Amino acid sequence: MRLPRKCSIKQRAEFARVKKTGQAKAGRFVILSTLEDPALAHLKTGFITTRRCGRAHERNLLRRRFREFVRAHAASFPDTRRYLVTIARPGAAAATFAELEADWLRQARRLGLLSNTMPSP
């Protein structure tokens, strides 16, 4: 199942607002940033994959994987009225799906998006 288009961060100002006033945690492969906003009706996500992460097909693969992480785990967030930005770090394209998911989940727990008692994948 796809993430609906209404759940995407589309404007540069939204990315900048999350970066300036939100919280961020960095892992080995990803940086996860979040900002709670009661005015939102649902979770809004954005993904940043720069050319330092790899070639176009590798960046597209990373974005597809990040979308799957959000789709699979966003339902367990205690509050979905927030912005969530996932930034790929250099070397993320060489990681396996399981390594990326484990790192993404670790950062989500550190930000308080998931409970610490959830089993790792």
Straight-line distance from the first to the last Cα atom of the chain, in angstroms, rounded to the nearest whole number: 20
pLDDT tens per residue, the chain (121 residues)? 567 787 889 899 999 999 999 999 999 999 999 999 999 988 999 999 999 999 999 999 999 999 999 999 988 888 889 999 999 999 999 999 999 999 999 999 999 998 765 455 5
Please check whether residue 101 lies inside any domain of the structure: yes
The backbone torsions φ and ψ at residue 32, rounded to the nearest 5 degrees and listed phi first, read -110, 125
pTM of the model: 0.88
- Domain count within the chain: 1
**Residue 1, pLDDT score:** 55
SS3 state at 97: helix
Residue 83 lies in a domain: yes
Q: Is residue 118 part of a domain?
A: no
Residue 80 is predicted with a pLDDT of: 85
Q: Determine, yes or no, domain membership for 41.
A: yes
What residue numbers bound the domain in which 94 lies?
5-110
**Domain contains 11:** yes
- What's residue 7's pLDDT? 84
* pLDDT given for residue 99 in this prediction: 97
CATH of the domain at 45: 3.30.230.10
Written as six digits, the tokens of 32 are: 């996860």
Within a domain: 81: yes
Asked if the structure places residue 120 within a domain, the reply is no
Query: Residue 117: its pLDDT value, please?
Result: 54
Residue 116 lies in a domain: no
